[in-house]
Amino acid sequence: MTPGRWRSLGRRFWMIVLGSLLILGAGFSAQAASALQATDTDNACLYGRFANPLYFVVGRNPHGVATADFDHNGHLDLAVALKGELGMGYGVDVLLGNGDGSFQAAVTYQADRGPDGVAAADFNGDTHPDLVVTNYSSGDYLEPAKVSILLGKGDGTFNDPTNYLVGYGPTSVAVADLNKDGKLDLAVTNWGNTNSVSVLLGAGNGAFQAAVDYAAGNGPYFVTVGEFNGDNILDLAVANFRYNDVESTVSILLGNGNGAFAPPTNIGVGSQPASVAVADFNGDTLSDLAVGDFSSGRVSILVGNGDGSFQSFDNYGASSPGSVVVADFNDDTFIDLAVAGGSLLTVRMGNGNAVFGSPIFYSVEETLGGALVADFNGDQRPDLAIAGGKSDHVSLWLNSCWWNCYLPATLRS
């Protein structure tokens, strides 16, 4: 055997030894370790590894979560929608970030009854992030409910809410410029018996026009925005979640460019889809969908055709997926999946062809809620913030890239 061959084998031997030590030191569960299939490629992290969650106390029954730099100090902060319980504990908790993955104590702001979804954006052009909150219980299920706008002051505090009527039982909200006027608009799912999405066009000064409702599927629960048919106009994807519904679907509403939307095209997925994420999973520059099917315990991958239609590609098991988020967690340029649901966080690494690897499981104490991706400690790695995981807490999962990224360059090949 040649000396070069011995050196190559030696490097691989030490890579295995060092990788094993890292796994032991990180305290991986046997279940998670057995799910990993190691390969020796590239100079990227082979896996996105998340540290044990950090828990931060919030109010009762946290559901949605949003992030922005509310006080302009260069650190990301959190806003958490508190659905409350038994008619009490409604509100939005704001936690100001310290830039190292920790947060200050929560400060509660009032919205209306039953806050469920929350998003952050600048609605009045003053450069300060504002909040929009969907209030699920504000209509008593017999009349239209409300969304609340809380304008930010720029110091981490917020003004009293201004409320706008939407449909019955609003759950989630997406923010984007839906009519190309340079002002942010809202799309709100109405989970009540109207089976609609309310669109509120923004005036650019923090005010919104009256809601216009567009039909969706049965039980629209979650909405996101994407460009699905190549016309450079934003469209909507809606996960329709209804109990005992045998025809679970995702609705695609193609935008007309003026803030109006075409009738929905409904795509069959697994049972009771609760969330949907948009990304290019196969590198063809077209938008694809990952749908969290709550009752069937799987994530459905729908590959976009570029004309507003999608084809079912594959599905992957997950624990009662209530929230699906996407990012490149391991720095290999491919989009990965993180699925929060039940008492598990499930992470799968993407291969760049709409195929995803073996699951990496992280256990938590209690049910996980809404999730988002952002860099909360300034290390340029995508972290996770998830409502729940422990009673009346928000959990933070810091991305601690491991294995290949910690090895000297000479041991990466």
User: For the chain, what is the radius of gyration of the CA atoms?
Assistant: 22
Mean pLDDT value across residues 343-366: 91
Which pLDDT value is given to residue 297? 78
Model pLDDT, residue 109? 97
410 burial via Cβ count (<10 Å: 0-12, 13-18, 19+): exposed
DSSP letter assigned to residue 41 = -
> Residue 136 and residue 167: Cα distance in Å, rounded?
10
Q: What's the pLDDT score for residue 45? A: 53
Sorting pLDDT into bands at 50, 70 and 90, what band is 7?
A: very low
- Compute the distance between CA of residue 290 and CA of residue 276 in angstroms, rounded to an integer: 6
Question: Average pLDDT over the chain, rounded to whole?
Answer: 85
pLDDT higher at 268 or 9: 268
Are 62 and 387 in contact, with CB atoms under 8 Å apart?
Answer: yes
Nearest to 178 by CA among 201, 197, 196: 201
Which has more confidence, 344 or 92? 92
Burial class (CB in 10 A: 0-12, 13-18, 19+), 88: exposed
Reported in sequence order, the residue ranges of 62-156 that DSSP labels E, i.e. its strands, are 62-68, 77-82, 91-95, 107-109, 115-121, 130-135, 146-150
Residue 47's pLDDT band (cuts 50, 70, 90) = low
pLDDT attached to residue 272: 82
* Cβ proximity of 302 and 310 under 8 Å: yes
> Is residue 244 predicted with pLDDT exceeding 90?
no
Give residue-wise pLDDT tens across range 259-302. Answer: 999 999 999 998 889 999 999 999 999 999 999 988 777 899 99
d(CA 215, CA 261): 9
Task: Give me the amino acid identity at 151.
Answer: L
pLDDT at site 131: 98
Name the DSSP letter for residue 24.
H
Would you state the pLDDT for residue 177? Answer: 98
Sign of the Cα pseudo-torsion (351, 344, 275, 269, in order): positive
Determine whether 319 is exposed, middle or buried from the number of CB atoms within 10 Å of its CB (0-12, 13-18, 19+).
buried
Quick one: average pLDDT of 89-96? 94
pLDDT tens per residue, range 98-114: 999 999 999 999 999 99
Residue partners of 237: CB distance under 8 A and separation at least 6: 223, 224, 225, 226, 228, 250, 251, 252, 253, 276, 278, 289
pLDDT at 14 over 50: no
- Nearest residue to 291 (alpha-carbon basis) of 302, 283, 304: 302
Amino acid at 375: D
Q: How far apart are CA 115 and CA 84, in angstroms?
A: 8
Q: Listing from the earlier edge strand, what are the strands of the sheet with 360-363?
A: 321-327, 336-341, 344-348, 360-363
Place 91 in a pLDDT band, splitting at 50, 70 and 90.
very high
φ, ψ at 77 (rounded to 5°):
-115, 175
Q: Please, which pLDDT band fits residue 305 given cuts at 50, 70 and 90?
A: very high
pLDDT digits (tens, 9 = 90+) for 307-346: 999 999 988 878 778 899 999 999 999 999 999 988 889 9
Amino acid at 359: P
| CA pair distance 147, 161, nearest whole angstrom | 9
Tens digit of pLDDT for each residue in 224-235?
Answer: 999 999 999 999
Residues 6+ apart with CB under 8 A from 380: none
**165-213 pLDDT tens trace:** 999 999 999 999 999 999 999 999 999 878 999 999 999 999 999 999 9
